[in-house]
Amino acid sequence: MSETPLIARLDQIGSTDSDTVGGKCAGLGELIRAGIPVPPGFAVTTEAFRMHLLENDLSPRGLDSAAIRRGIEEAPVPAALVAAIIDAYAALQELTGGTPAVAVRSSAVGEDGRAASFAGQQETYLWVSGAQEVVAHVRRCWASLYTSQAVSYREHLGTDDVPAIGVGVQLMVDARVAGVMFTLDPVTGDRSQIAVNSAWGLGLAVANGEVTPDEFLVDKVIMEITRRRVTDKPFEYVAAGTGGVAREEVTDDRRSSSSLTDPELLALSGVGKRVEAHMGSAQDIEWAIDRRLPFPESLFVLQSRPETVWANKRAAAPAVPTASPVGSLTSMMRDMLRQPGATPRSDAPERPSSN
């Protein structure tokens, strides 16, 4: 794998590249491959981290996590990598003009991904502007592999290998509205539904639990909104001029109104359906709608993970109320239908008409 480049554009990678760019970047590349709108960006490969360690003669072993982190963060990033990041950032600049803000995220590989996840330290830095800043934050992502918890976890596993890590760099979405969606109903496990949570501004308010999001349920077969609950959303996070984020009060006219229009909700659900179809399992998707772009080009998927709660739970069917008149009748009817020759021959419903 010595041929692995230092940088790879997200639209040039896919799920098979997770060893070289980490799981998160590989997933984003796979989404782009499936035609899902994902903010443009690039991956700093695992090879880049190895080069950083090698050229700086770093040997991140032992239990002194703080010392390891300091070592990684203080060592100069190899010139070849700096040049590559500057080039790749310039390509993003061409798309947006100015000095675009990007998100810089850890993208860990394999077992280490689990370790990092265990430690809760898959670092993400938002609103990073300028190539040199990107370089600096890439280095901080690397260092985040060595929190004390992650180090002890690896020690506990008895592994002494240097973990592999990629870093993703993507244009920031300046979210007018953001949230998550599950491609099933997380309450009932109903696979025919898409559950969408949304709130004004950046996704932080919902992630931090500061705002109760609007909740929608969309039937993915008929693409109709089957349930909606619009909440009071007093705060939102917006991009601040300084490159950070600011918490602001939501104006009265917006706080109790729906953060998604029906067309937005349906477009979002359509995207959710496509992600699920491409990934082959129910997904847990982070999304945002950019305030600077016209809809529908403004809609982006930030991340998609397999849904885990219901995934292993075998369609544990909710109990049919057999104690009710309806329940007892229909359960009998179903037993009756089970008997051979119980029903007349009829059009096989699974056969869609050919024209």
- Binding region for another protein (CB under 8 A): 185, 188, 190-193, 217, 219-222, 224-228, 262, 314-315, 317-318, 320, 324-339, 341-344, 346-353, 355
In the complex, least distance from residue 281 CB atom to another protein, rounded to whole angstroms = 12
In the complex, least distance from residue 338 CB atom to another protein, rounded to whole angstroms = 7
Output the 3-class SS for the chain: CCCCCCEEEHHHCCHHHHHHHHHHHHHHHHHHHCCCCCCCEEEECHHHHHHHHHHCCCCCCCCCHHHHHHHHHHCCCCHHHHHHHHHHHHHHHHHHCCCCEEEEEEEECHHHHHHHHHHCCCCEEEEEECHHHHHHHHHHHHHHHHCHHHHHHHHHHCCCCCCCEEEEEEECCCEEEEEEEECCCCCCCCCCEEEEEEEEECCHHHHCCCCCCEEEEEECCCCEEEEEECCCCCEEEEECCCCCEEEEECCHHHHCCCCCCHHHHHHHHHHHHHHHHHHCCCEEEEEEEECCCCCCCCEEEEEEEECCCCCCCCCCCCCCCCCCHHHHHHHHHHHHHHCCCCCCCCCCCCCCCCC
In the complex, least distance from residue 256 CB atom to another protein, rounded to whole angstroms = 15
CB nearer to another protein: give 130 or 186: 186
Looking only at the bridges linking them, the beta strands covering 41-44 and 7-9 are: antiparallel
In the complex, least distance from residue 179 CB atom to another protein, rounded to whole angstroms = 19
In the complex, least distance from residue 219 CB atom to another protein, rounded to whole angstroms = 6
CB 173 within 8 Å of CB 292: no
CB nearer to another protein: give 208 or 331: 331
In the complex, least distance from residue 332 CB atom to another protein, rounded to whole angstroms = 6
CB nearer to another protein: give 251 or 339: 339
CB nearer to another protein: give 249 or 347: 347
CB nearer to another protein: give 228 or 247: 228
CB nearer to another protein: give 2 or 355: 355
CB nearer to another protein: give 79 or 222: 222
In the complex, least distance from residue 175 CB atom to another protein, rounded to whole angstroms = 26
